[in-house]
Amino acid sequence: MPTPLVFATGFLTSITLIAAIGAQNAFVLRQGIRREHVGAVVTLCAVSDLALIAIGIAGFGAVIAAHPDVVTVAKFGGAAFLVGYGLLAAKRALTPGTLTPSDVSPARLGAVLATCLALTFLNPHVYLDTVVLIGALANEHRDARWLFGIGAAAASAVWFTTLGYGATRLSALFGRPATWRVLDGAVAVTMISLGVYLAAS
């Protein structure tokens, strides 16, 4: 397969996997709308994907596939975390006084990054999609496997940058408490639904 096509295949494979609505994307979207530590969150998400893709290409996807207990631990830990985060979002949605950004003290960078890490690495689909699936697809390209991985990592960087910084343009719309209530309500439903699905699957 020609070199540009290998890169493009990796890019398209990755973008279709990460573009689906999920906990991590919802978090990045919310941080972008709040204009809060956007660069740090986007960078952490992109670097995390880069590391996971590299691990998968290096052959660790087969190790994870052979040890499902790793995914099981992530599954139940992630489910508990998602439900808890969803309940906090529901609380924000039901408390109008906490919805206007100007009335809320910005979250500390450490807390924001810790939440982002948890949403990333406590999601078992991260390991199944990024490490196992992308790793396996990349290795099918043999000598060009790392080029495939670069394409996949580039897609992740483009996606999270677009999502995070694109969301900052919605800040004016979210200057009203009612709009924040809708967003946090949607985040709550998404998080809790994903948590329940993970636990039951």
Model confidence over 164-184: pLDDT tens digits? 999 888 777 766 777 778 877
pLDDT score of 101 more than 60: no
C-alpha to C-alpha distances, 62 to 52, 65, 131, 150, nearest whole angstrom: 13, 5, 9, 20
DSSP for 42-109, written as a single string: HHHHHHHHHHHHHHIIIIIHHHHHH-HHHHHHHHHHHHHHHHHHHHHHHHHHT-GGGTSGGGSPPPPH
pLDDT of 20 = 66
pLDDT of 89 = 80
Structure tokens at 8: 């493009």
The proportion of the chain whose per-residue pLDDT surpasses 70, expressed as a percent, equals 85
pLDDT score of 100 more than 70: no
Higher pLDDT, 173 or 154: 154
- Which of 82-91, 114-123, 125-134, 169-178 is modeled with the greatest confidence? 114-123
* Model confidence band, residue 96 (pLDDT cutoffs 50, 70, 90): low
What are the tens digits of pLDDT across the range 48-95?
999 999 998 887 656 666 666 766 776 777 778 778 878 888 887 787
- The residue extents of the domains of the chain are 3-200
How much of the chain is in helix, strand and coil states, percent to nearest 5? 85, 0, 15
Report d(CA 73, CA 80) in Å as an integer.
11
Higher pLDDT, 62 or 117: 117
Report d(CA 35, CA 101) in Å as an integer.
9
pLDDT of 199 = 79
pLDDT score of 102 more than 60: no
